[in-house]
A = this chain, B = another copy of it.
């Protein structure tokens, strides 16, 4: 940490800051600038991160030098992590394609979706049984019944099941039915939930929060890894900006940022990222070209009767087109 003292800071102010730093077992290093004293704080970053230096008189600002996360960082582990979901690999050159309806609605809808996405080349079936919805009056999902349908269809088709968990008490239930536990954007900083999925050994898909910085997102992943679960896949799904033409603003530079900062695989969800099915195709191509390790795409056999997210779901025909284009780019990138 760097502490910048204000130009009016007195020697007493500086002395008190130094004393505090030394008193918690850290070292400090003074550097007199043109108008301000700069104090470098050296030592264990967990102790440094607990300092409240802006509360001291004469302190103008403080600047963090290192991130708080450790296990997720590229510095800690240099090689790409490859998550192994029962034989299906994601990361390090292996693309993972997750597709299916927003919500599980019926056995027929699910089977039709599953066959379509498998035929087009997906390895995972996505589908929500517990839906976190903005309004209490919106469709909330079929709960355990939905999970059962997912498992049945997954076994029949050989697709791995990805589904969202919203309740810490439902962890055993989800582990029994699903192959990948999805933590949604709204729950990215629901730390109780992160700890619970961290204690399980199931692979976790961690979506980026609606307005999470990349740093906060990686810290959220650190909660999971620090509980012992290293099988985490990150998922960029659009961030909230002032633009209203799209539902969110898909931040594809997050792919490059995560690749630089972390060893974890990262996939992209262009369906939520744009909220418009017409944009899924170009954004899916762009995601792979940016270096993403996979995609999560909403596919519904009949989007116009979907109980949620019909506006952003692809038909099986359109999904097939996307997959063909994506494969070409992936090949060019030396993937899969």
Contact = CB atoms under 8 A, between A and B. Distances in A.
Given A40-B31, A306-B52, A282 B289 contact: yes
Interface in A30-64: 31-36, 38, 40, 42-46, 49-50, 52-56, 63
Contact of A250 (B36, B136, B214, B252): B252
Interface in A257-304: 257, 259-260, 273-274, 276-279, 282-283, 285-291, 303-304
Contact of A7 (B46, B54, B75, B311): B75
A23 to B, nearest CB: 10
A139 B50 contact: yes
Interface size class of A (residues with CB under 8 A): 35 or more
A291 B316 CA distance: 22
How many copies of this chain does the complex contain?
Answer: 4
A49 B137 contact: yes
Interface in A210-247: 210-211, 213-216, 219, 222-223, 226, 239-246
A90 interface: no
Nearest to A63: B63
Contact of A213 (B43, B213, B245, B274): B245
Given A242-B242, A250-B253, 4 more contacts: A33-B40, A136-B226, A249-B253, A289-B289
